[in-house]
Structure 1
Amino acid sequence: MPCRAPLLSLVLLSLLFFLLVGSVRASGTESFLRLPAPKNVTVYSYNFHSLLRWSPVEVNRGLVLYTVHFKTGFLNEWDEMNCTRITQTECNISWSLRKRRWTVFLRVRAELGQATSDWVETDPFVAERNTTIGPPKVNSVTESSDSLLIRVTPPFGSEAGYFPEYYVSYWENATSTIKREIKLSNTLFKIENLKELTLYCFSIQVVLKVYPDLQLLGLPSVPECYRTTVSEATKAGYLSLILISVLLFVTLATVGLFHLWRHRKAIKYWFQPPLEIPSHFEEYLKDPSVPALEELDNHPEDDPHDSLSVISHGDGSQASGSSLDGQARSHSISSDSEVT
């Protein structure tokens, strides 16, 4: 009996050792088969086009694949989608949302060989409640004198039971703060009662009525500006005004030229400088007894002339006569110059 006690203790210790080694190996194998879970798992939905996105799982060995499952609020069973063992970090889930009113749950996990991660589930998603409606596309705008005719395309495809409407805001110019709003249900509509030759800007939003007490308001479109045209009546008024102005100008020009020709003598007299009689002639004409002309002739000192003397060695009388003749001719020459 004393010998059996140590042997029994040895067996118990060996068994405990093997149990410890097995648990360590099991935990090591389990940790090797477990991957980090994907993070930032989010549903992005724009115009009912929905994607499930997540951040990539980074490991040092091999290529990580991903698998996505979904279930609805009617059936509490997870089912596979077209996103099984994919390399992308997003999954298009639009095809599975056959009804936009379905409540959908999604989950995703990472896979690498036999190793997997934990499932990461999303919050409940309802497309017609959680999607973002974009602005409609403006196809054409036709301007007239008092309206803008606009044709748009909805941002999403038609589906039975949905009747999108269009919420239009417009204002008179790019700086005006006064906006007017209308609500329309057709893709071709007209903004009426506008001023001619005026710049108008508009922005359009889609309004989707989901329930009687719930509607989705889409994002507004980028403002677009167009100028209204001139009306036919205004064009006719402008042409009439121009024609009247031309006729008035021609009439006034004709009348002016006629008056110039008719009063040409008076105009010539007005523009010709008056003739004035010299003052000494005027005094003489008023009183002929005034010796005005004689006084002009009786100023020999004012008449510059030269005396010419002829000296000859001949007869003195001839020399004297020549001198007198010269003086007489000089005097007559000076007199002629005064008269002239």
Structure 2
Amino acid sequence: MSGVDANFTFTTTTALDYSSYFDYEEEAAPCEFSSLSSQDFVITIYCLVFILGFIGNGLVVCVLVKHRGHKTSMTDMWLFNLAFSDLIFVLTLPFYSHQVNVGYWPFGDFMCRFLSWSHHSGFFSSIFIMVVMTLYRYQVIMHPHSVTRHCTMRAGMAVTLFVWMLSLCISLPQLILSKVTNESNGLQCDYSLDNKVWQYYELFTTNVLGLIIPLLVMVACYSRIIPRLVKMKTAKRQRIVKLIMAIVTAFFLFWTPYNISRFLRFLQYNSTIPDDCSWDNNLKLSITVTETFAYTHCCLNPIIYAFVGQNFMKRALRLLKGWRNASGSEWSGGSTRNSSVVSKASVVSSTVIM
């Protein structure tokens, strides 16, 4: 996954590589590609994703940290790590948005490497945590008697640590190979892969680890969970089934077009499909549009995984009410009577399904 397509250009004559995480060097002269409208599109979407993703995921983290003293469920732990992963991801977007706007990389070599690594680590950890949450739901619903024995908090923390270590290790090439290069149009944060091994590695991590395996796990688990839920005599089963369908559908719709575009790009670099200007420009535009569209998925995670849950929503509303009362008390001379609502409120753990 890349911050933006490597060959996205701002002029009609110069190929500008400003955050080319997953693209490979081209030997041929660049085709003419006017991208002023694409530049505006990328900046607009990046800003919206940053604002919405920061607010939504930040609120999830604040709610869970606020109630960390109470009994924490496994679901709370997964939600916290999912929101934290998405926060890491969205916090890199303002830097790339600024680069798109000014046309060069002004933040230095260290930030180029670090942000590239953080960007990809946030992406992979978010995907892997969604997979873990799916497996946990499957275990709880299909094998409820073994949950208390195997799904302990200690085991959950060990799995969480493994997910983060795996994500950081998978993203290590971004830290090692990313660098600032001096191009004709200024300094650029470049991630060029001139080795076939690295090209296949990027294809495997992006398409297989980032889409195919997670999607297969979700489909396999939820295809068995849904029939079990339908048989349960609970008023919430219809809402839960809809939620599960929303999780799988959103993941598929948001990430599949981008992964297809990346795969076509890989085929083009290996001369499997035409490498003429028409194909090249269409693929550049496709990657730019599908990538920015895929990034908006991190804004949906708080809605799908957290705010849909009634218990979590109560926590969030209590927190927001506490902030409002605290702000109001400052203006009214420091009265703290209303702000005590939060401390007196009872906290209920998130349900397993959420």
Question: TM-score category by the smaller chain?
Answer: under 0.3
Which structure is higher in strand share?
1
Q: Give the helix-richer structure, 1 or 2.
A: 2
Q: Which has the larger radius of gyration?
A: 1
